[in-house]
Amino acid sequence: MVKELDSIMKPKSIAVIGASTKEHTIGSDIMKRLQEYKFAGKIYPVNPKGGIIEGLQAYTNVLEIPGDVDLAIIVVNAKFVLDTIDQCNEKGIKGLCIITAGFKETGAEGAAAEKALLEKVRAYGMRCVGPNCLGVVNTDPAIRMDGCFAESLPERGNIGFVSQSGALGGGILNILKDLNLGFAQFISIGNQADVNAETAIEYWEDDKDVEQILLYMESIQNPANFRKLASRITKKKPILALKAGRSAAGASAASSHTGSLAGADKAANALLQQSGVIREYSLKNLFATAKVFANCPIPKGDRVAIITNSGGPGIMATDAVCEYGMQMAKISDATKEKLRSFLPSAASVKNPIDMIASAPIEHYKQTLETVIADENVDMIMVIYLPFLGLKDIDVARAVMEIKAQYPQKPVVGVFMTKNEFFTKLSDMEVNMPFFMYAEEAADGFNRLNQQRLWMEQPEGKIPCYDVDRETVKQIIKKSIAEGRDQLTTLESIDVLQAYGIRACKYGLATNEEEVAQLGNSIGYPVVMKMTSKTTSHKTDVGGVRINIQSEEQLRAEYRDLIEKLTEKGLLEGLEGVIIQEMVKGNREMVCGIATDPQYGPMMMFGLGGVFVEALKDVTFRIAPLTDLDAKSMIKSVKAYKLLQGARGTTPAQMEQIEETLLRLSQLVNDFKFIDELDINPLLISEKTGEGIAVDGRIKVRMEEAKQALECACAGCTCCG
């Protein structure tokens, strides 16, 4: 089946527009790389002077080329690019790779030129990589295209790699041999005017030549589309991402706890996590993980066996495995018996299996062969330390020989030896990854296990609850009619209740008699909170009074509050006081919503109350949440143990708390102009284990709200 990017990634003919005879120019280097790598199709150099370039007839323009052309690699000056695209269209070329820089990366004039470029590409039905990129590579023996200007020729492998940085991509291509890695295909997306990371991963989804996908990204253009595609593709093959730009710029202006703790990188991290993408934070870790996926199958479980010739490293490896939450495999009695038949009596056949320092190569082979056959073992780490003249490279060859016979389980080598060993490996065909330290191998196993768990996980569902949307609409309409983007406490609680979120029983009172009546009807103890159109942080002005035990105390607290507000000149904005049931519980959680300018609404959950800013035990996910997202959020915070019922406390109703998060997600999806929302605390009742919203704050984006509420529907999940 022919795909959209085939004209770029699997061309039968290439025109290099801007080919040159001048040494050390991009036009010259592109021609040389295509020829040196032995491109399987036809190459047509294009240069206004014509002549012979790299032994091939050059054409003065693309229209002179006698045959069909699939791909045009464009390296002309930026001012000629738009005219060149017109000529390519006239020639019938559908694939463009624009190496030329000088577009949106240079400022407003360049951005306008890039916009015009994209308009032409779309109008002509073309696909375009770049501009301002390094080029494209396909190492398939039937194609052999090195259409970039990196110094080294590409190494063959099973990786599809997308790089937003051309220079970084070139540097990586230059060190592939040293990394024991190779690529199937490489795309330097540059300014990603047309083809971006999402285009590439969708193109590679069913490409058998690409077994894993690596991304270097500085931005994610369309987070919602990326999530949709990546969530599907990661069920088939791993996607590893190095996402640069981890600053939290933009969060400082937020007024809510959720907003102040959020940030662009937390949003990106949540998006990648929800999409099943494995995120790495350095190139070293990115390629260490890629090396594991390049040489290891996905394991059937998380049970690890360790084979070593030294006790100390075996113990450290065990620690590393356990710290990642994986299991040390329980070696079967039959396996132990077989190991005892050839290992010396001083050896330990328990896991970690210590063959002792005198272990010869034959013991490495026999032990690995025996352990790999044990059904209780899913992954195997083989540790080597140099003893008694045993050569590291000989041990590596022996271990790889066994691995080749039994490819069904991941095997990773840990060779604590000289760097020369890894240099020798780079000149060899390897079938398993090797590392210097056990912690690196354990990290690789953890990534394999992470991919296994994701692939086994069922698809999450976004539930749709029966809610009172009209009530929320009227509450927000009233607020914006009064010029307020911040809902009052009372309004916020009313919104939560309209969406079925359990809140404390409450009522609004505007004078002392109403206060007393409400307290008596709700039942003591109660909490009294001021609700004001001008003061949002109630605790700062003594606006929250708790554990009120009687009508007499309630009246006294009310009179004291009015007196304090009068003294501070804050009485004018007072709507009244909320009298609430006082829920007893020491476990205070927080949940909320903050809006990232690029990623949209983010959900937060974690330890709340006074600890939310200090301990920051919180987690984020991009809305809308699936049921699995809600479960994952609750389990991923350290405070989860408190929710489970530590020290005899009543276990929290996990399903009810999950539902609270899902209902909040539906709220922000129905009313997309909600900018910030906090429930702090979400108090866990000692009596029932329910999560009960004790307080709420909601802020909207005024202009968006005005526009949306004029419509009959703001695009809710139920009718969208």
DSSP string for residues in 115-178: HHHHHHHHHTT-EEE-SS--EEEE--TTT-EEEE--SSPPPEEEEEEEES-HHHHHHHHHHHHH
Mean pLDDT, all residues of the chain? 92
pLDDT at 220: 87
pLDDT at 626: 97
For the cut 50, the answer to whether the pLDDT of residue 671 exceeds it is yes
CATH class as words, domain 587-708:
alpha beta
Q: Residue 556: what are its φ and ψ, rounded to 5°?
A: -65, -45
Give SS3 for 505. Answer: coil
Give SS3 for 57. Answer: strand
Cα separation, 441 vs 321, in Å, equals: 9
Same fold, 6-218 and 305-456: yes
HEC letters along 393-449: HHHHHHHHHHHHHCCCCCEEEEECCCHHHHHHHCCCCCCCCEECCHHHHHHHHHHHH
HEC letters along 639-684: CHHHHCCHHHCCCCCHHHHHHHHHHHHHHHHHCCCEEEEEEEEEEE
For the cut 90, the answer to whether the pLDDT of residue 489 exceeds it is no
Superfamily of domain 6-218: NAD(P)-binding Rossmann-like Domain (3.40.50.720)
User: What's the pLDDT tens digit per position in 93-131?
Assistant: 999 999 999 999 999 999 999 999 999 999 999 999 999
User: What's the pLDDT tens digit per position in 550-563?
Assistant: 999 999 999 999 99
Q: 564 Cβ partners below 8 Å, 6+ apart?
A: 541, 542
Cα separation, 63 vs 42, in Å, equals: 16
Alpha carbon distances (Å) from 510 to 478, 491, 529, 558, 559: 19, 15, 12, 10, 12
For the cut 90, the answer to whether the pLDDT of residue 452 exceeds it is yes
Q: Which alpha helices (H) appear in 324-416, and where do they start and end?
A: 333-340, 361-372, 392-405
pLDDT at 628: 97
Alpha carbon distances (Å) from 283 to 243, 279, 438, 462: 10, 11, 19, 35
Do the Cβ atoms of 79 and 53 come closer than 8 Å? no
> Comparing C-alpha atoms, which of 50, 56, 52 is closest to residue 35?
56
Alpha carbon distances (Å) from 239 to 273, 279, 620: 11, 9, 21
User: What's the pLDDT tens digit per position in 216-271?
Assistant: 988 888 999 999 999 999 999 999 999 887 654 443 444 444 444 555 788 899 99
Q: For residue 692, how far is the Cα from the chain centroid? A: 31
Cα separation, 68 vs 48, in Å, equals: 20
Alpha carbon distances (Å) from 114 to 103, 110, 191, 220, 646: 6, 6, 9, 19, 59
Cα separation, 141 vs 462, in Å, equals: 44
Cα separation, 132 vs 74, in Å, equals: 10
Which one of 3.30.1490.20, 3.40.50.720, 3.30.465.10, 1.10.3720.10 gives the CATH number of domain 469-581?
Answer: 3.30.1490.20
Q: For residue 270, how far is the Cα from the chain centroid? A: 6
Structure tokens at 438: 């056990």
Structure tokens at 682: 């979400």
Task: Work out the burial of residue 477: count CB atoms within 10 Å of its CB; fewer than 13 is exposed, 13-18 middle, 19 or more buried.
Answer: middle
642-670 exposure pattern, b = at least 16 Cβ within 10 A, e = fewer: bbeeeeebeebbbeebbbbbbbbbbbbbb
User: What's the pLDDT tens digit per position in 379-425?
Assistant: 999 999 998 889 999 999 999 999 999 999 999 999 999 999 999 99
Higher pLDDT, 510 or 165: 510
Q: 151 Cβ partners below 8 Å, 6+ apart?
A: 170, 173, 174
pLDDT at 118: 98
pLDDT band at 536 (very low <50, low <70, confident <90, very high): low
Structure tokens at 286: 């990115």
pLDDT at 258: 46
Q: 420 Cβ partners below 8 Å, 6+ apart?
A: none
Share of the chain above pLDDT 90, in %: 81
Structural domain boundaries in the chain: 6-218, 305-456, 469-581, 587-708
Domain 305-456 part of CATH 3.40.50.261: yes
